[in-house]
Structure 1
Amino acid sequence: MNLFEAVYELFLPAACASCKEAPAAGSGLCEACEAGLPDAAVHLAVLSDTGAPPTVVAGAYEGPLAEALNEYKERGRRQLAGVLAGLLARPLEIVGAELPGAVLVPIPPTRAARRERGFDHVAHLCAGLGEVRRCLRARPRPDSVGLSRAQRREAARSSLDVVPRRVAALAASSRPVILVDDIVTTGATLSAAAAVLRRAGMSVPAAVAIAAAE
């Protein structure tokens, strides 16, 4: 969000993050678009990368949910965090019930993405949903736009590493890890994250995300 947009939103009601027309409520969405978010049901994502742990998501990456995620990530509309975290809590509740004592490990943005957005958008959503350990770090990676599925998989595999001082104690505790992401597509990033954590001695039996994209 640039300075002009920030000043504009300070004095005039922000438009709904989804339809961009009706005034937004406190959630960042208008009443109609908020009603169009996924219902309470969750489902298991169908991922083409077989190395990814079983991943439970709140809904499909489409409609108001897709718009809200894009506005939250790319335009810094952090008021959407409440409604998005509420959606993330649904799959976490299901998975967490099967994995008592599990810790949440968010998929990190690259340094460049975090600098551009101004915050770690996935870790921000995890706050208040469980014990969070930021023990992954992201290396620079190419934009996935225009890459083939195989190229995306290879880029994901080389883009993540562990933070040694943070994983040692976690590995010693034997507590399971639930990976957390905002959007999953092929599962390549989750597969890469699970692989590096497992090499560090951790159990990664499951993952959750807000949305699954085809």
Structure 2
Amino acid sequence: MSFLADLIELLLPERCAGCDAAPVLLCDDCAAPLQAPARPALTAPDGLPPPWTVAPYEGPLRTILSAYKEHGRTALAAPLGEALATAVHAALPQTRSPPPKTTPRLPVAVVWVPSARGAVRRRGHDPLRGAVAVAVRRLRAKGLPVTAVPALRQCGRVADQAGLTATQRIANLDGALEVTPSTGLTDHRIVLVDDVMTTGASLAEAARALRAAGAEPSAAATIATTPLRRKRT
């Protein structure tokens, strides 16, 4: 860490990324949703394996993810990555039927939805990749055969998804991803991951790209999912 960064930290110590009240990275209240058990997402688009998630994308978590992705609070990769590890771990039983005792357990490839290169340059880091790295370390420490595989890349221009309907999001992402050359996914169980699932369009496009390359994703996991809103009558 640079002298200037040390000085800033001394004069302006960080405060909770969720509520800006407590002098910690995350206070107990703001961290609690990320420490919940994983649960199946209520909805998913066609072509997407069963997704698992941990927290609703609302309240302080929206602020936390914004602080991590857009405002350089990279230390948040730890609690966010731990939540992602919880979701991936819950998704793993969905990726296989019980194998015979003589059959070796297949390794797991965690494949994430890639960020646009311009967004990575603007932010100064790759947020989802950082959270995936933490999640994989946590799962490997538990003895699970998990590897982070950068299997996907963007191959076309994608508009900002904010404000788009579910149909528009799917059209916006159609054909936007492809599998990187020389990606080895043979004999792996593939778990697709993203930070937040709103309509599932990003994960569905990732699944399509993998299938086009002959790789079948088995499950999906996210840190958070946008809650369903009931229409008023």
CA positional deviation for 1:195? 0.7
- Per the alignment, residue 101 of structure 1 pairs with 107
- Given the alignment of the two structures, is residue 213 of structure 1 paired with residue 209 of structure 2, yes or no? no
CA shift, 1:144, in A, is 1.4
C-alpha RMSD over aligned residues: 2.1
Q: Compute the TM-score of the two structures, normalised by the length of structure 1.
A: 0.86
Structure 1 distance, partners of 2:119, 2:6, is 20
- How far did 1:121 drift? 1.2
Do structure 1's residue 54 and structure 2's residue 50 form an aligned pair? Answer: yes
Structure 1 CA distance, aligned partners of 2:36 and 2:70? 26
Other structure's SS at 1:108 match: coil
Contact 1:126 1:132 in 2 (8 A): yes
Report percent identity of matched pairs.
36
Tell me how many residue pairs correspond in the alignment.
203
8 Å CA contact retained: 1:58, 1:91: yes
Query: Where in structure 1 are there 5+ consecutive unaligned residues?
Result: none
1:58 and 1:210 in contact (8 A); partners too: yes
C-alpha offsets along residues 188-208 of structure 1, whole Å, 9 cap, x if unaligned? Answer: 111111011011111201110
Shift of 1:41: 2.0
CA distance 1:12–1:137, shift in 2 (3 Å): same
Separation of aligned partners in 2, 1:140 and 1:71: 25
Q: d(CA) in 2 for partners of 1:116 and 1:197?
A: 27
Aligned-residue offset at 1:52: 1.7
The one-character-per-residue Cα deviations of 1:7-62 (angstroms, maximum 9, x if unpaired) are 634532112101112212xxx1123422x324432111123522222100011112
Deviations 1:49-88 (A, max 9, x none): 2222210001111223222111111112011111111111
TM-score of the superposition, structure 2-length normalised? 0.79
Say if 2:94 and 2:219, in contact at 8 Å, map to a contact too.
no
- The 10-residue stretch of structure 1 (94-103 or 15-24) with the greater mean CA deviation from structure 2: 94-103
Partner of 1:33: 30
String of CA shifts for 1:114-156, please: whole Å, max 9, x gaps: 1111122111111124301101002331011232321111112
- Does residue 161 of structure 2 align to residue 144 of structure 1? yes
CA 148–63 in structure 1, closer or farther in 2 if over 3 Å, else same: closer
Residue 153 in 1 paired to residue 170 in 2? yes
The residue type equivalent to 2:21 in the other structure is E
Contact 1:174–1:203 (CA under 8 A) maintained in structure 2: no
DSSP 3-state at the match of 1:104: strand
**Residue in 1 that maps onto 2:147:** 131
Partners of 1:6 and 1:109 lie apart in 2 by 30
